[in-house]
Amino acid sequence: MEKVKVYYHKDSDTMDIWFGNPKDEVMSEEAGEGIIFKKNKFGATIGIEKLYVSKTVGTDTFLPVELVVA
């Protein structure tokens, strides 16, 4: 399994979580509540996008980012 990659996009207040190659995305499926599944050509979920991140966690400011490697 590849490493999980997390990207927070300050301008759009979205977060992408990838456990596959982002270049393999060919479709997406809205799951509700601001969650979008990113899928490859086989229909397998390779990533998740979360919309409105700062509103979801109840803050009016953009989130600080801390990278933790285990």
pLDDT beneath 70: ranges in the chain:
1-2, 58-70
Give the single-character DSSP code of 57. Answer: T
Q: What is the pTM of this model?
A: 0.77
Cα–Cα distance between 7 and 55 in angstroms, integer? Answer: 17
Return the ∠ at Cα 6 (arms to 39 and 16), rounded to 5°. Answer: 45
Cα–Cα distance between 47 and 37 in angstroms, integer? Answer: 6
For 23, the 3-state DSSP assignment is: helix
